[in-house]
A and B are shown apart, each in its own frame.
Chain A
Amino acid sequence: MPRYRMMYAKEGPARYISHLDLLRAFERAARRAGLPLAFTLGFNPHPKIAFAAPLGVGTAGEREFADLELTANMPPEEVAGALGRALPEGLRLIELRAVADQAGALMTAVDRATYRAEAILSRPVSAGEAERAVAAFLSMPQILVEKKGRRGEKKVRDIKPGILAMSARVNDDIIVVEAELKTGSSGNVRFEEVLDAFKEKSRLPVEGRFSLYRTGVYAARGKEKKSLWHV
């Protein structure tokens, strides 16, 4: 069945849509758009829409990826036009392409993601201070975080190997942290974990919570990022 890959943004009110609800939101949008969405068989059919990587509730996604299958061939421009008009506020289609049958599955290909976080500083911080804080953070031999296991037991693990890059800068009273993190089925690191550890170690005067953005999701080619369009 014809498969299409889309890059979309999930921002504004849509960033509070949970992963499960996102599937429903796309299903409804596709139906409004009049697209012949393909469904799985069985008692509880669900639409064949596959997301590259779940996005935490509250984090905005600037360039997210998903595949969807239709039961009939349609020109990609037509699918994009119809779907784009049927998406609710905050879900924005950026680009849509037809993908070949032999193209890989997004979820298995995903290897890393890039992020940005912004927060207000309660006192001025110099650019140098922010940079030094990141350097000190990354120079630690290990970055241990605690996580509760399924049965409530505490697990400690080192997230440092999953932090592929990280930087910080200051715009007036706002600190901006960017990072590239391991994402997917193995060695996945959550951006919140990194920020919590960074806030604690650096003692930078961050006020309130960080606003979180995932700026991209990628496959890997060796040590480099590879676009999911080419998977």
Chain B
Amino acid sequence: MDVIDQILPVVQKPARYAGGEWNSVRKDWDGVDLKVAFAFPDTYEVGMSHLGLQILYWIVNGRPDALMERVFAPWPDMEEEMRKRELPLFSLESRRPVRDFDILAFTLQYEMSFSNILNMLDLAGIPLMAEQRDEKFPLVIAGGPCAFNPEPLAGFIDLFVIGEGEEVINEFLDAFLEAKRRGLSRQELLFEALKVPGVYVPSLYRVHYGEDGSVLKVAPAVEGVPERVTKRVVRDLNGAPFPLRPVVPFTEIVHDRAMVEVMRGCTRGCRFCQAGVLYRPVREKKCETVLEQAAGLVRNTGYGEISLTSLSTSDYTPVRRAVKALVDEYARQGVNVSLPSLRADNFSVELAKEVQRVRRSSLTFAPEAGTQRLRNVINKGVTGEDLLKTVSAAFREGWQAVKLYFMIGLPTETDEDLDGIAGLAGEVLALGRQAGVPAGRLRVTVSVSSFVPKAHTPFQWEPQAPLPALKQKQAYLSGKLKGRGLAFNYHDAGLSFIEAAFARGDRRLGAVLVNAFKLGCKFDGWSEHFSLSRWLEAFRRAGLNPEQYANRRYGYAEPLPWDHIDSGVSKEYLILEHRRAMAGLTTLDCRAGSCTGCGLCPALAAEPVYAEA
């Protein structure tokens, strides 16, 4: 009797580990040359909600010479059983040890999942450090947004892929196959892989530190290695591979619906937002492409909901046409249409009405800051007036609950801005009452996260507010956001503090990660597992101070640990944007036609793509 089947009945949610889902692909192991394990360093439910996984799974399994199988971080109860029985980390499809694959590919969506990467390597029986691994072990690669500051993981990962994966994955796999055929050593293979644009091999770079311990530069250690690695961008999304047969989980996942990506990128230019830079330029799919893909997805998955996903779907030029066509086509079949995020304007309420013809659940808006002054600083192009008008319209249309997302600790923030958050929430509540929403039903939820400065953004130089200050701000708001119909929740500030340290961290943080892993850190994005004291201990043992990374103002002239990674947006532009922020000046949406001069289009020979309305 299979040991996995002995374990599964005693763990929570065994469907996480069972595999066999609709559209999952199990290829003949010996029939392909190249085996790739896609590793998501969080739970099955989180990982399966990630469109990037489905895209790469579709591409790799579409190749006759390769297979891709999935593996997720086992929940601690499963890990305990696995360790007790010495069962190594295994893939869902063939239940083979991850160690037996040629390539183990991690996706880096969130800094607080780094500890899970180390834990998964350990569970797989793979040495943590790249330098301890030879050809007997899989090549460990990684990509995703956190690869744009790869340095904290540089010691563990053999190779990073910077930017969008659709094209580079095939180029890289071809290079890998060729190297395997020629029987190249690991070192030789890494040199070959370098020829693929977008590939960063950290072991071929050396970090130079100044006398004060600051990073002077990350530079090639040997000849023939590029000084900077530029991100990959897919020029035309209409022609890009898109998973029309995504894996449909048995168990409920976070985003349990068919996802059609309508566009990539966002033109709004919020100054704290990393995705807005990493996914530039904006590229919209044609409405026809979206409708075709939606039809394929419904047919092939049986999902009861189609979500039009992107960073800002109400900005998608033909959004109205797409929504109307989908609702007309699928409402009869009991298939709903949903939009992930809404802009605070009347147009968005119109759209929401269109998609929620029957059920009016809650609407979510993200003003991010409490005063107009601060919204200008962060370049959030929404006014308090817009928000109130929109919310008022929403209440009149029958919505009874509104969620508002804010950030605290933003650069230049004062108590006045916090008062603004409470003030806006109060006004929204009053509008609900005025619109006649029954008091028992009316609900305004204020959700507050702490600002985390991220690499490649105009705020990359900004310090995070010290931890005690963040806690004080939370307490201050907590006192103000009380009363019937109001709900207030906030993220763990300690977690945001460690996230900030890694978001702007350098290669030395690898030692902290090893310590944290040894201290038992895992699932740190889950507040029930996160332990600030363990992380502080991990820093202390490495002789490092997280405040040096999280709470320090980095200088414009100071070399940054991620300077060798090129997002396409120039540093000069980020400095300009930072200066404009400090002056309270806003920058126009590049969709409006006036180029903001971020430098990306000329640098990457790319340009924004807009669809017809």
A residues contacting B by CB (< 8 A) are: 12-14, 16-18, 20-21, 24-25, 27-32, 37, 39, 43-45, 57-58, 86, 88-90, 118, 120, 208-209, 211-212
Chosen A-B contacts, 21 in total, with CB atoms closer than 8 Å, are A13-B20, A16-B18, A17-B15, A18-B13, A18-B15, A20-B252, A24-B252, A27-B302, A28-B301, A28-B303, A31-B298, A31-B304, A31-B335, A37-B334, A39-B334, A58-B14, A88-B20, A89-B20, A90-B20, A208-B1, A212-B9
Q: Which 5 A-B pairs have the closest CB atoms?
A: A13-B20, A28-B302, A58-B9, A31-B302, A89-B20
Point out the residues of chain B lying under 8 angstroms from A86, CB to CB: 302
Residue of B nearest to A212 (CB): B9
The answer on a CB contact under 8 Å between A17 and B251 is: yes
Point out the residues of chain B lying under 8 angstroms from A29, CB to CB: 22, 302
Point out the residues of chain A lying under 8 angstroms from B17, CB to CB: 16
Bound Cα distance from A14 to B22, whole angstroms: 11
The answer on a CB contact under 8 Å between B251 and A32 is: no
B residues 12-41 touching A (CB-CB < 8 Å) = 13-15, 17-22, 24
Point out the residues of chain A lying under 8 angstroms from B582, CB to CB: none
Bound Cα distance from A13 to B53, whole angstroms: 21
Bound Cα distance from A124 to B4, whole angstroms: 24
Q: Which of B1, B13, B358 contacts A120 (CB 8 A)?
A: B1
User: B181 in the interface, Cβ–Cβ < 8 Å?
Assistant: no
User: B333 in the interface, Cβ–Cβ < 8 Å?
Assistant: yes
The answer on a CB contact under 8 Å between A14 and B304 is: no
- Given A57-B9, A209-B6, verify A30-B302 contact (CB < 8 Å): yes
Interface of A is mostly: mixed
The answer on a CB contact under 8 Å between A45 and B20 is: no
Instruction: Tell me how many residues of B have a C-beta within 8 Å of chain A.
Output: 32
The answer on a CB contact under 8 Å between A209 and B9 is: yes
Point out the residues of chain B lying under 8 angstroms from A25, CB to CB: 250
User: B5 in the interface, Cβ–Cβ < 8 Å?
Assistant: yes
The answer on a CB contact under 8 Å between B14 and A88 is: no
The answer on a CB contact under 8 Å between A43 and B358 is: yes
**Min CB–CB distance B286 → chain A (angstroms):** 26
Bound Cα distance from A16 to B303, whole angstroms: 20
User: B481 in the interface, Cβ–Cβ < 8 Å?
Assistant: no
Bound Cα distance from A120 to B340, whole angstroms: 50
The answer on a CB contact under 8 Å between A21 and B298 is: no
User: B215 in the interface, Cβ–Cβ < 8 Å?
Assistant: no
The answer on a CB contact under 8 Å between B301 and A32 is: yes
Point out the residues of chain B lying under 8 angstroms from A31, CB to CB: 298, 302-304, 333-335
Residue of A nearest to B360 (CB): A43
Point out the residues of chain B lying under 8 angstroms from A89, CB to CB: 20-22, 24
The answer on a CB contact under 8 Å between A27 and B304 is: yes
User: B351 in the interface, Cβ–Cβ < 8 Å?
Assistant: no
**Min CB–CB distance B340 → chain A (angstroms):** 20
Q: Mark B188-202, 1 if CB is under 8 A from A, else 0.
A: 000000000000000
The answer on a CB contact under 8 Å between A58 and B8 is: yes
**Min CB–CB distance B540 → chain A (angstroms):** 41
Point out the residues of chain A lying under 8 angstroms from B5, CB to CB: 211
Bound Cα distance from A13 to B248, whole angstroms: 14
B residues 294-343 touching A (CB-CB < 8 Å) = 298-304, 333-335
The answer on a CB contact under 8 Å between B15 and A208 is: no
Q: Which of A21, A27, A45, A209 contacts B10 (CB 8 A)?
A: A209
**Min CB–CB distance A53 → chain B (angstroms):** 19
The answer on a CB contact under 8 Å between A21 and B8 is: no
Residue of B nearest to A192 (CB): B9
B residues 393-416 touching A (CB-CB < 8 Å) = none
The answer on a CB contact under 8 Å between B250 and A208 is: no
The answer on a CB contact under 8 Å between A208 and B20 is: no
Q: Which of B21, B300, B358 contacts A88 (CB 8 A)?
A: B21
Point out the residues of chain A lying under 8 angstroms from B19, CB to CB: 13
User: B84 in the interface, Cβ–Cβ < 8 Å?
Assistant: no
